[in-house]
C-alpha cells in the first residue's frame, strides 16, 4: 500500500507548504513590509533554481534535441515555439497538453510548483485581509468546495491519454490541501484550542487512526484519476496529513516526532527542492542508457540504473544546496519582516 500511495507525497508537500507558509504569514500579518519581504524571500528560494532547470532544458533542445528526436518520435513537447514561455510564467498547470520521453521526465514535476506559486498570490492577501475570527470559516469553505470543483472539472474536461488530468493539477482543485495546512497553522496558534486538545489526546489519535484506515482503503485502488479519489480522496489524504502534523506537534517526545527529527530526514528536507526537480530526468537518462546498451534488459539492469540515478541525484542536489540554494536563502533572509 505504501508504494502504491507514494504519489501522495505531493499532497503532503501541499499540506506542509500551507502549514509553513501560512504560519509565517500569520505571525507577521501586521508587518509593514509584509508583502515585500514575503515575495522577495520566496523569489530567492524558488525562482533561480527553477529557471536554471528550464534553461537547461532549452539548451538541450538547441544542442542535442535533433539527435534525440531521431531516436525518439516526438520527444520534446512543449517546444521553444510552444509551451516553454508558460513554464517560465508558472502557469503550465493550466496549459499542460502532453509531454513525451525526455520532455516528460524533465518538466512534468513542475506542475506542482505552478500550484505553489499560484497559492503564493492568494494566501498572503487572504491572511492579511481576513480577520482571524473569519479566517477558519474561509479556509474551511475552501476545503469543502474543492472536491465539488474537482467533480465539475472532471465532468467538463475529461482526461484523455494525451493530456494531464485537470482535476489533479489545477490550483483551485488542490486548494483543499493547501488550506488544510493553513488551518493547522492557525489551530496551533490558538491557545484555547491547544489547551482543549491537550486534554483529549484520545480524540486526536482516534481521528488519526480512522483517517489512516481510510488511506488503507484508498490504497487498495490507488488510481489518482478515479471518481472516489478525485472527489473525497484528495481531501481525505490532506486531512490525514494535517492530523499527522498535529500529532508531531502535540507529542514532541513521541515516536513519530522522533522519527521526523532524524538526521537523514533533515538532510533530505534541505535538498528536497532540487531532488524533486531533477529526480525524474536523471532516472530517465539512466534507464534510457540501459535500454540502449541492452536489447533485452533484465530486472537487475533497471535496479542498478535506479541506484545509480539515486546517487547522482543526491550529489547534484548536495552541490546545488551548497553552492546555489543556501547562499540565495541567506540573501533572502537579509530582508526582515
Q: Chain centroid to CA 182: how far?
A: 15
d(CA 177, CA 142): 9
d(CA 110, CA 128): 28
Q: Chain centroid to CA 216: how far?
A: 21
Q: What is the pLDDT of residue 308?
A: 94
| Of residues 244, 168, 222, 224, the one with CA closest to residue 16 | 244
d(CA 107, CA 100): 10
Q: For residue 80, give every residue at least 6 positions away whose Cβ sits within 8 Å of its Cβ, in sequence order, or none.
A: 58, 61, 62
Per-position pLDDT tens, the chain of length 337? 444 567 788 999 999 999 999 999 999 999 999 999 999 999 999 999 999 999 998 888 788 777 776 766 555 555 555 577 888 999 988 866 556 677 788 888 899 999 999 999 999 999 999 998 999 999 999 999 999 999 999 888 876 554 568 899 999 999 999 999 999 999 999 999 998 988 888 999 999 999 999 988 887 766 777 888 888 999 999 999 999 999 999 988 889 899 889 999 999 999 999 999 999 999 988 988 887 777 777 888 889 999 999 999 999 999 999 999 999 999 999 999 9
| Of residues 201, 321, 332, the one with CA closest to residue 270 | 321
Q: What is the pLDDT of residue 126?
A: 96
DSSP 278-311: HHHHHHHHHHHHHHHH-SS--HHHHHHHHHHHHH
Q: What is the pLDDT of residue 100?
A: 63
Q: What is the pLDDT of residue 221?
A: 66
Helix (H) or strand (E) holding 328: helix 326-333
Helix axes 299-320, 263-293, angle to 10 degrees: 130
Q: How far apart are the first and last CA of the chain?
A: 43
Domain extents in the chain: 6-250, 262-337
pTM equals 0.90
Q: Chain centroid to CA 166: how far?
A: 16
Specify whether the backbone of 99 is left (phi greater than 0), alpha (psi in -120 to 50) or beta.
Answer: beta
Helix (H) or strand (E) holding 222: none
Amino acid at each position: 500500500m505504501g508504494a502504491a500511495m507514494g504519489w501522495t507525497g505531493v499532497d503532503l508537500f501541499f499540506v506542509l507548504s500551507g502549514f509553513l507558509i501560512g504560519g509565517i504569514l500569520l505571525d507577521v500579518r501586521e508587518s509593514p513590509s509584509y508583502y515585500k519581504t514575503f515575495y522577495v524571500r520566496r523569489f530567492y528560494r524558488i525562482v533561480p533554481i527553477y529557471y536554471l532547470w528550464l534553461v537547461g532544458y532549452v539548451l538541450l533542445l538547441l544542442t542535442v534535441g535533433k539527435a534525440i528526436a531521431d531516436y525518439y518520435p516526438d520527444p520534446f513537447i512543449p517546444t521553444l515555439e510552444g509551451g516553454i514561455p508558460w513554464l517560465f510564467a508558472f502557469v503550465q498547470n493550466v496549459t499542460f497538453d502532453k509531454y513525451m520521453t525526455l520532455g516528460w521526465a524533465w518538466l512534468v514535476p513542475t506542475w506542482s510548483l505552478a500550484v505553489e506559486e499560484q497559492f503564493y498570490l492568494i494566501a498572503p492577501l487572504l491572511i492579511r485581509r481576513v480577520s482571524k475570527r473569519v479566517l477558519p470559516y474561509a479556509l474551511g469553505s475552501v476545503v469543502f468546495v474543492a472536491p465539488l470543483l474537482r467533480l465539475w472539472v472532471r465532468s467538463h474536461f475529461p482526461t484523455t491519454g494525451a493530456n494531464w488530468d485537470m482535476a489533479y493539477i489545477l490550483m483551485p482543485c488542490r486548494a483543499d490541501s493547501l488550506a488544510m495546512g493553513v488551518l493547522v497553522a492557525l489551530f496551533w496558534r490558538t491557545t484555547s484550542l491547544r489547551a482543549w486538545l491537550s486534554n483529549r489526546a484520545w480524540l486526536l489519535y482516534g481521528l488519526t487512526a480512522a483517517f489512516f484506515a481510510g488511506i488503507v482503503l484508498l490504497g487498495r485502488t490507488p488510481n489518482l484519476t478515479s471518481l472516489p479519489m478525485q472527489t473525497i480522496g484528495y481531501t481525505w489524504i490532506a486531512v490525514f496529513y494535517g492530523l499527522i502534523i498535529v500529532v508531531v506537534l502535540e507529542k514532541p517526545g513521541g515516536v513519530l516526532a522522533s522519527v521526523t527529527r532524524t538526521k537523514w530526514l533533515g538532510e533530505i528536507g534541505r535538498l528536497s527542492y532540487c531532488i524533486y526537480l531533477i529526480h525524474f530526468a536523471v532516472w530517465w537518462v539512466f534507464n534510457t542508457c540501459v535500454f540502449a546498451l541492452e536489447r533485452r534488459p533484465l530486472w537487475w539492469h533497471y535496479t542498478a540504473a535506479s541506484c545509480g540515478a539515486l546517487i547522482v541525484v543526491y550529489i547534484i542536489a548536495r552541490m546545488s544546496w551548497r553552492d546555489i540554494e543556501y547562499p540565495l536563502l541567506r540573501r533572502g533572509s537579509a530582508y526582515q519582516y
